[in-house]
Structure 1
Amino acid sequence: VSQSVPAGVTIIPIDNLPISSNADSESSDADSTSSDDEGIQA
């Protein structure tokens, strides 16, 4: 796994995961933050 990961898996996950993860994380955080803020304000 280590050999495969550094070789190509690292490049693919970095391009796929970070973008998707960041997008999901940002969306989740934005939603969570908005929900929390709205919830607190409400």
Structure 2
Amino acid sequence: MIKDLTPKEFRGYLMDDEVILVDVREQWEFDICQIKGAILMP
């Protein structure tokens, strides 16, 4: 089950060096806007 996160919770995860953020959007969407450190896997 995927849990919804508040912006504050999300920021906390981003600060953790052990967390990997996977972006599953298309390349063109990623090119327009992305979160620093995210890994693209469409």
User: The TM-score by the shorter chain falls in which range?
Assistant: under 0.3
Bigger Cα Rg: 1
The structure with the greater share of residues assigned to strand is 2
TM-score between the two structures when normalised by the length of structure 1: 0.27
TM-score between the two structures when normalised by the length of structure 2: 0.27
